[in-house]
Amino acid sequence: MVTRTKSLAREVAELRKLVEERVGNTGPVYLRDGDAIPQKVDPERVVWIKRTFIDPPERAEEPLPAQEAAPADEQSARREPIFYPRAGIA
């Protein structure tokens, strides 16, 4: 199984190389901000990806609406038993 995975990786690498040779390497190259540009890549093709964190605007804290707790009698009356189907072989 491991040898098949290695051979697939090798085949994919060979196919990529063939495509680059025939089509050319003209597509964009995406790099993280601050990474070095690889040697064979034209700097004009590089698209820099930069992560920027934005703090949310400050807002006044809104109070939650007041809720009254239901009496214990009401709570127990609302609860209904849960019936599960019988598990077994028919």
State mean pLDDT over 20-24: 75
pTM of structure:
0.36
Q: How far apart are the first and last CA of the chain?
A: 42
Tokens 């127990």 -> residue: 76
And the tokens for 87?
């598990």
Considering the chain, what is the average pLDDT of its residues?
80
pLDDT over threshold 70, residue 78: no
pLDDT, greater one: 11 or 85: 11
